[in-house]
Amino acid sequence: MPNFPEFRVTDENLDKQKELVLRTIEENRKKIEELLNMEPKTYENFVRPLQLMEEKLGFYFSPVSHLNYVKNSPKTEEIYNALLPELSRYHTELGQNEKIYEALKQILEEDLAPEQRKVVEDMIIEFELSGVALGKSAKEELKAINIKLSELTSSFGQNLLKATDAYEMIVSKSDVEGMPESLKEAAKCEEGYRFTLKQPSYIAYMTYGPNREKREELYKAYVTRAPENEALIDEILALRHKKARLLGFENYAELSLETKMAASPEEVVSFLKDLAQKSKLQAKKEFEALQAFAKEQGAKYDLKAFDIAYWSERLKKAKYDIDDEEYKPYFEKDATVNGLFTFLHKLFKLEFQEIDTPVWHESVKCYEISLPNRLVGRLYVDLEAREGKRGGAWMDEWVSHHIDQKGEVVYPVAYIVANFAPATKTTPSLLRPDDIVTLFHEMGHALHHLLSEVSEPAVSGIAGVEWDAVEFPSQFLENFAYEEEVLHLFAKHYKTGEPLPKAMIERLKKAKNFQSAMAMVRQLEFGLFDMLVHMDWPVDVQQVLDEVREEVSVVPTPPYNKFQWGFSHIFAGGYAAGYYSYKWAEVLSADAFFMFVDNGIYNDEIAESYLQEILCKGGSRPALESFKAFAGRTPKSEALLKLCGIESEA
């Protein structure tokens, strides 16, 4: 029987776990010295032990970071924050170790199996991007650039946060007339009603606020936040360009794509422009329809950027009237999870068996997963919101599928976490339609991790998968969430057992694509802007943005809009010259989805191919190769337009 770990980490024994992590770091340091002194170095005696050391460290640290996110306490924070700098120091040392880099280059000359070659190539690229191959003075320069960049991007985020926190708009009772009661309640204060630039509050007034002047006031404050970021943007872009040149790239966009599926910045730009060209006509029509609706309803003005959310909400309600409360009784949590398992059984022959093992909260369940011919792994499912749990939803891994030192298979373990409405004394946990999509999405990530058959941990499951392809399996599964054949498996009223009516399913599907072309060109505007400002230096950032808007946007933007000052994804987050990745992965997932739908959802041959060529292969080969092996061709962007219900003009 496979030896699965048990989740026994608690506040009481966290100190012990911390010691295990620190001891592993020390043992790894010693082991690395031993490995470096050994001759001759081969894949088996050098690269594999390096990976297994990393896997062991993750095995001990993962429960600490997991507990800190799902059962946060002063103790979890203390231990987590004490370990972070130690891990960071250790990984920095590793990433700067020239001897390891030299050894890897030699090993690459050997006759390696494809999986092994991918491991070594990925490691070498990582080393080279951290500047290990540079001369002494260039190394110093790169180090200085990296430190400065980390300060600048951190300041960018801090400025945005401060500006967001500093602003408030107080309005009177007449300014909130007709808004949903819960939103009014949340905004109520002594002087009237307070709205801020924090997302829930800002979105609430932009979507439901009846006073147009107040909407513009709030919008203007939002799109002119943090003017001090203007200078930071130029500095960040200049330093990124310098860094790329130091490392031998033409520009920062090229550096970014070195670890991604897309081949070149030019390919990304033409991909985005092609989608924009095919979506713009419909986006224009959607905008005109919105304008016409507003006029019908008595609006005596042309719609501006600060009117869009308000009128769109009203039009959507008039057309589809989707009320989460009406849907929730049909989506009881346990029935939904079991329905998802039934769907995955019909699709991929997967079996899910609930098992009794220690968990961190009584609402958490653990399942053992198998295929007809093999054991797959274990999955912990933690879906209900509670105190001490980080917001949002995510998948995280504990153990990767790999072969250990003894030559035995180690089976993978993953967690999926969400924040759905918890059960109460009188009702079970009931999910909103959006929650179904979230659940399918995270399950897609989990399957990518768990179904791996790869022997090498560094390219097993989601490890080693390019940034712009990692969302492919999650979005693929999410696309099935509102399919009638899938909803029939679980969407039943929790009291009466009545199935979700067909008309309600139709409304869900149609509402999903409401204004989809307008949403598409908006995302393409961000993606193009991001790519273009990273392709050359110096650039006039505002001019690039204006030109992109001219080409793709359909909503008139006021001249005072300084969207770039708040674009933290690329100036304070990990998406620099990578924002396009969302759309890139959506194309892969839409294309794969239609291969199923167009051939009857439950098509054994296609399902087996997806399982073997995409999921089981993990990061062991380039994502494009995996896609071609599955589909027999390269991805088609038309599939995404079809999924979004966009009638292409080209």
In tens, the pLDDT along 497-519 reads: 999 999 999 999 999 999 999 99
CA dist., res. 370 & res. 374, Å (int): 6
Please say if the pLDDT value at position 65 is more than 60: yes
For the segment 158-188, what is each residue's pLDDT rounded down to a tens digit?
A: 999 999 999 999 999 999 999 999 899 999 9
- What's the pLDDT score for residue 381? 99
Instruction: Read off the tokens for 461.
Output: 């499951």
Cβ atoms of 247 and 495 closer than 8 Å: no
3-state DSSP percent of the chain in helix, strand and coil, to 5: 60, 10, 30
d(CA 504, CA 129): 51
Tens of pLDDT, residues 385-404: 999 999 899 999 999 999 99
User: Is 292's pLDDT higher than 70?
Assistant: yes
| Residue-level pLDDT at 649 | 61
- Classify strands 374-384 and 409-410 as parallel, antiparallel or unpaired: unpaired
Residue 199 is predicted with a pLDDT of 87
Retrieve residue 16's tokens.
């012990």
Answer yes or no: is pLDDT of 650 > 60: no
Q: Which CATH superfamily is domain 229-246+248-320+514-579 in?
A: Neurolysin, domain 3 (1.10.1370.10)
Tell me phi and psi for residue 7, to 5 degrees. Answer: -85, 95
Write down the pLDDT at residue 3.
86
Q: Which helix (H) or strand (E) holds 120?
A: helix 114-129
For all residues of the chain together, what is the average pLDDT? 97
Q: pLDDT tens digits, residue range 524-568?
A: 999 999 999 999 999 999 999 999 999 999 999 999 999 999 999
Give the single-character DSSP code of 614: I
The two structure tokens encoding residue 103: 């050894």
Q: Which two tokens stand for residue 559?
A: 């001249």
Residue 366: band (very low, low, confident or very high) from pLDDT cuts 50, 70, 90: very high
| Domain positions in the chain | 11-134, 168-223, 229-246+248-320+514-579, 327-499
Q: Is pLDDT above 90 for 296?
A: yes
Structure tokens at 518: 């307008």
What is the model's pLDDT at position 358? 98
User: To the nearest whole percent, how much of the chain has pLDDT over 90?
Assistant: 97
pLDDT at 224: 98
C-alpha span between 446 and 470 (Å, rounded): 11
Four-way CATH pick for 11-134: 3.40.50.300, 1.10.3720.10, 1.10.1200.10, 1.20.1050.40: 1.20.1050.40
pLDDT of res. 2: 81
Nearby residues of 329 by Cβ (< 8 Å), 6 or more positions away: 430, 493, 494, 495
Q: What is the pLDDT of residue 1?
A: 66
- Non-local (6+) Cβ contacts of 257 within 8 A are 263, 264, 265, 268, 577
Q: How far apart are CA 373 and CA 597, in angstroms?
A: 26
Angstrom distance (rounded) from CA 511 to CA 322 = 8
Strand ranges inside 404-522, DSSP E? 409-410, 413-420
Q: What CATH fold (topology level) applies to the domain 327-499?
A: Neurolysin; domain 3 (1.10.1370)
**Gap between the Cα atoms of 40 and 30, Å rounded:** 19
- Whole-number pLDDT of residue 454: 98
DSSP tag of 566: G
Q: Whole-angstrom Cα distance, residue 576 to residue 49?
A: 33
Q: Examine the residue annotation and report whether 325 is marked as an active-site residue of this protein.
A: no
Q: Are strands 413-420 and 374-384 parallel, antiparallel or unpaired?
A: parallel
- Of the residues 115, 442, 466, 638, which is catalytic? 442
- Specify the 3-state DSSP secondary structure of 238: helix
Average pLDDT for residues 365-382, to the nearest whole number? 98
Angle at 127 between CA 125 and CA 129, to 5 degrees: 70
The number of C-alpha atoms within 13 Å of 264 and in the hemisphere containing its C-beta is 4
Helix-then-strand count for the chain, H and E: 26, 10
Q: What is the share, in percent, of the chain residues with pLDDT greater than 70?
A: 100
pLDDT over threshold 60, residue 66: yes
Question: In CATH terms, are 229-246+248-320+514-579 and 327-499 the same topology?
Answer: yes
Q: CA geometry: angle at 380 spanning 379 and 384, to 5°?
A: 140
Half-sphere exposure of 224 (CA within 13 A, CB side): 12
Residues 6+ apart with CB under 8 A from 493: 329, 330, 499, 500
pLDDT in tens, 106-132: 999 999 999 999 999 999 999 999 999
